[in-house]
Structure formats: structure tokens, C-alpha cells
């Protein structure tokens, strides 16, 4: 059953701590994305990657880092520099440019991050 798996579902961070959110897809998609969701603000793009070993900053990249060493994996690290990390984090994937333009994005079920 193809899809996107995000883990953990809930995560707690202490002050000054880095935490890493996992995102794995078995859809054979080239492009992957990380969004942050806050109440009343919709989905804001943190980072995206259209191909392995390459990624670009989104609208709110400060305090976050990513890697894309494998096609199926796109982990997000929330660093201690992110002063307001409490949010719902969503990972998505799409066929990307190789599938032609305007491919739909498929989302995981998110990770809810809170500060202890």
C-alpha cells in the first residue's frame, strides 16, 4: 500500500535541543516537501526537494534543516534556533518535474511537535 509515513506522531522538545522528524515515501516520487501548519495560517513551506541530494528553502526555512540522501527519505531537523517550534508538521511528495507540471501532492498524517 503506497503512501507517506511520518514518525513519530507526537514529539516533545526540550529547550536547546535539536529534534528530527522522519518522512518516508514508497510512491517513487522525485519531489518531497515539508510544511508547517499553525491554526489560522494554513500550510507554510519550510523546505522542498525535487531530486536526491538537492533541496531548496521555502518561505520559513530559518531554524530548520533537511537532507535528501535517498529518494524515499526526507528528514527534517528542528534546531534550537527555531524559537517557536510548536506546530503540526506535514510531509508531502509528488512526481515532480519528471511527471510534467502541476502534479498533485500526497501528504503524510503529520507530526505534532510541542515544547516541554
Partner 1 sequence: QQQVKQSPQSLIVQKGGISIINCAYENTAFDYFPWYQQFPGKGPALLIAIRPDVSEKKEGRFTISFNKSAKQFSLHIMDSQPGDSATYFCAASKYTDKLIFGTGTRLQVFP
Interface residue list for partner 1 (CB under 8 A): 4, 6, 33, 40-45, 48, 50, 58, 90, 92, 96-97, 101-102, 104-110
Nearer to partner 1, 19 or 46 (CB): 46
Q: Which phi and psi (to 5°) does residue 11 adopt?
A: -145, 140
- Find the shortest distance in angstroms from Cβ 81 to partner 1: 23
Nearer to partner 1, 50 or 79 (CB): 50
Place of cell 501548519: 37
Question: Distance (Å, rounded) from C-alpha 13 to C-alpha 115?
Answer: 5
Question: Distance (Å, rounded) from C-alpha 98 to C-alpha 104?
Answer: 13
- Find the shortest distance in angstroms from Cβ 27 to partner 1: 13
Amino acid at each position: 500500500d503506497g503512501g507517506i509515513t511520518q514518525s513519530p506522531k507526537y514529539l516533545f522538545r526540550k529547550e536547546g535541543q535539536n529534534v528530527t522528524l522522519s518522512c518516508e515515501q514508497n510512491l517513487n516520487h522525485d519531489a518531497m516537501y515539508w510544511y508547517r501548519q499553525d491554526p489560522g495560517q494554513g500550510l507554510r513551506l519550510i523546505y522542498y526537494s525535487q531530486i536526491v541530494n538537492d533541496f531548496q528553502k521555502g518561505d520559513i526555512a530559518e531554524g530548520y534543516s533537511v537532507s535528501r540522501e535517498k529518494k524515499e527519505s526526507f528528514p527534517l531537523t528542528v534546531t534550537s534556533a527555531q524559537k517557536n517550534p510548536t506546530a503540526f508538521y506535514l510531509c508531502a511528495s509528488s512526481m515532480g518535474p519528471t511527471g510534467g507540471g502541476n502534479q498533485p501532492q500526497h501528504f503524510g498524517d503529520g507530526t505534532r511537535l510541542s515544547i516541554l
